[in-house]
């Protein structure tokens, strides 16, 4: 029974359409797959030793080398700066998958050994199998993610998904209790990822993203702990923490960066219980902010799940001046009729389409049509997951308003954002 709780708790990460397509192809060929989540460990320590920029170079180098290591029939998706999803085909037993995972583990240590980095590096790898453990990409990644938390805590860098282990995670290690302590002890932090206006080339805002570094387990991915909080009734406390923290930070920026807007993510239950309106009203009034500087990002799926309840709350939020953005757009099944009625200001094209749009014609078409669709409904468009300059140029030509992604910057602590924006605008602002 506990495993079904975990199934909800760790519900899948977003934007997996390419991985899903890949899995559909495997199904048609009756192939077995291994899905791996690869986490580079100790990024904070490395960053403290060799600096943030070099650490990011290292992670990019690892990403490039990992691509070379894979065969044509494999696939890979970069999930965050330090986390990669790898799908290997033809893996019909644990032995084969272990050999492949060990190669990836060695790759991290080889890249770390290079003269420029010279770091003792480790990657931990969680593995789940198709069709044994699950048949959908998002579910397989979720299970591989759970397994990867096991490899972090144990001595072996490679761990395979096991139901018992998943039970362990919630039970013995008490992730739920740890989340409570993290809230109290201040182990939760907000990071900010800059958002650039494509027409002017300047940074106009940022998305706030929560980070949790457990003293023993290391960094816990937001996809995991947000779902845990959602299913254990702690999401209201987390959202309150996020909003208060963001408003406090914006108050600090008020004098020197008065026009910066910040987006905060909210989950379905936070919207439908309606408390968000009061939380936001109180926080903006305490810190003397205008509500229109805050955008609330709600996923397309959340809106589809509770159309009536969310509609009312979104209207209230907009009446008090806040902006509303539809996140992960393209991964759900919105109809045109629904878009016509939705009280929103902005639409975010999901990164699963954006990050590969230069290589995949279907993704490019989806991005192009989404931009046109948004325009025709008077919504602004943000492309997330922009990982290279070519993608940014294409988005500009397609008439996209804003871009966000590793090519511009990764999420960073609030204290670093001001310096980053100053440097970035000096170098990039278009006349
Ligand atoms: P999201 O809202 O779609 O956030 C964007 C995610 O994409 C972030 O992952 C960000 O670090 C990552 N990202 C940004 N640029 C790139 C890129 O160029 N390439 C790639 N591969 N990834 C990029 P992160 O921080 O791991 O967050 C994952 C999800 O967890 C978020 O997805 C959001 O749904 C949830 N989340 C994070 N913080 C919060 C929070 O404070 N509250 C709530 N309710 N959810 C949160
Ligand atoms: Ca978001
Ligand atoms: Ca998103």
DSSP code string of 179-236: HHHHHHHT-EEEEEEEEEETTT--EEEEEEEEEEEETTTEEEPHHHHHHHHHHTT-HH
Residues 6 or more apart in contact with residue 68 via CB below 8 angstroms: none
pLDDT score for 307? 81
Rounded Cα distance between 217 and 246, Å, is: 26
Cα of 176 vs centre of ligand 3, distance in Å, is: 25
Cis peptide before 47 (omega within 30 of 0): no
Judge if pTM exceeds 0.75.
no
Q: Which of 138, 222, 243, 356 to mutate to test the pocket of ligand 1 (most atoms within 8 A of CB)?
A: 222
Rounded Cα distance between 194 and 22, Å, is: 31
pLDDT winner (highest mean) among 129-138, 230-239, 409-418: 409-418
Q: Which of 38, 192, 208, 209 to mutate to test the pocket of ligand 1 (most atoms within 8 A of CB)?
A: 209
Of 3-7, 115-119, 388-392, the one with minimum mean pLDDT is 3-7
Cα of 21 vs centre of ligand 2, distance in Å, is: 23
Q: Counting ligands in written order, which one lies closest to the CA of residue 145?
A: 1
**Which residues fall inside 5 Å of ion ligand 3, going by CB?**
327-328
Residue 171 has pLDDT above 70, yes or no: no
Cα of 296 vs centre of ligand 2, distance in Å, is: 9
| Closest ligand 1 atom to Cα of 221 | 26
Lining residues, ligand 1, CB within 6 Å: 14, 78-80, 193, 209-210, 221-223, 226, 242, 265-267, 297, 327-328, 351, 355, 384-387, 405-406, 411
**Assigned token pair, 191:** 């990071």
Q: Is 299 helix (H, G, I), strand (E, B) or coil?
A: strand
Of 61-65, 107-111, 165-169, 411-415, the one with minimum mean pLDDT is 165-169
Cα of 384 vs centre of ligand 2, distance in Å, is: 9
pLDDT winner (highest mean) among 74-83, 199-208, 336-345: 199-208
Which residue has the CA at smallest separation from atom 25 of ligand 1?
A: 209
Q: Counting ligands in written order, which one lies closest to the CA of residue 210?
A: 1
Cα of 395 vs centre of ligand 1, distance in Å, is: 20
Rounded Cα distance between 115 and 163, Å, is: 41
Comparing 429 with 183, which gets the higher pLDDT? 183
Q: Which of 80, 194, 356, 395 to mutate to test the pocket of ligand 1 (most atoms within 8 A of CB)?
A: 80
Rounded Cα distance between 98 and 137, Å, is: 20
Cα of 79 vs centre of ligand 3, distance in Å, is: 11
| Closest ligand 1 atom to Cα of 83 | 21
Q: Is 403 helix (H, G, I), strand (E, B) or coil?
A: strand
Comparing 386 with 430, which gets the higher pLDDT? 386
Residue 106 has pLDDT above 50, yes or no: yes
Residue 238 has pLDDT above 80, yes or no: yes
Rounded Cα distance between 406 and 204, Å, is: 16
């Amino acid at each position: 029974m506990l495993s079904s709780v975990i199934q909800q708790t760790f519900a899948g990460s977003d934007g997996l359409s390419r991985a899903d397509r890949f899995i559909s192809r495997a199904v048609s060929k009756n192939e077995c797959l291994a899905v791996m989540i690869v986490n580079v460990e100790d990024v904070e320590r490395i960053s403290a030793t060799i600096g943030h920029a070099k650490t990011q170079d290292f992670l990019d180098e690892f990403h490039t080398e990992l691509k070379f290591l894979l065969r044509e029939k494999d696939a890979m998706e970069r999930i965050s700066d330090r986390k990669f999803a790898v799908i290997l085909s033809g893996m019909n037993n644990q032995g084969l998958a272990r050999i492949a995972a060990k190669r990836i583990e060695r790759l991290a240590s080889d890249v770390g050994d290079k003269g420029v980095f010279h770091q003792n590096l480790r990657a931990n790898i969680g593995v789940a199998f198709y069709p044994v453990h699950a048949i959908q990409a998002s579910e397989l990644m979720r299970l591989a993610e759970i397994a990867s938390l096991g490899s972090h805590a144990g001595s072996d860098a490679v761990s395979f998904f096991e139901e018992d282990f998943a039970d362990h995670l919630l039970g013995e290690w008490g992730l739920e209790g740890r989340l409570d302590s993290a809230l109290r002890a201040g182990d939760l932090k907000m990071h900010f990822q800059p958002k650039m206006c494509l027409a002017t080339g300047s940074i106009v805002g940022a998305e706030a993203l929560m980070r949790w570094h457990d003293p023993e387990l290391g960094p816990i991915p937001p996809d995991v702990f947000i779902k845990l909080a959602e299913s254990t009734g702690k999401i209201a406390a987390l959202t309150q923490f996020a909003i208060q923290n963001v408003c406090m930070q914006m108050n600090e920026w008020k004098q020197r960066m008065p026009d910066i807007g910040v987006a905060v993510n909210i989950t379905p239950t936070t919207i439908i219980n309606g408390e968000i309106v009061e939380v936001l009203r109180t926080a903006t009034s305490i810190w003397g902010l205008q509500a229109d500087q805050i955008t609330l990002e709600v996923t397309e799926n959340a809106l589809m799940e509770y159309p009536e309840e969310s509609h009312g709350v979104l209207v209230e939020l907009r009446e008090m001046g806040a902006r509303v953005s539809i996140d992960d757009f393209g991964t759900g099944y919105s109809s045109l009729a629904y878009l016509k009625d939705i009280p929103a200001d902005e639409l975010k094209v999901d990164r699963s389409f954006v990050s590969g749009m230069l290589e995949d014609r279907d993704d490019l078409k989806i991005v192009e049509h989404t931009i046109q669709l948004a325009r025709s409904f008077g919504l602004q468009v943000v492309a997330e997951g922009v990982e290279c300059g070519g993608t940014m140029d294409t988005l500009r030509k397609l008439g996209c308003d804003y871009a966000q992604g590793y090519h511009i910057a990764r999420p960073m602590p609030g204290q670093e954002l001001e310096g980053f924006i100053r440097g970035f605008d000096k170098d990039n602002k278009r006349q």
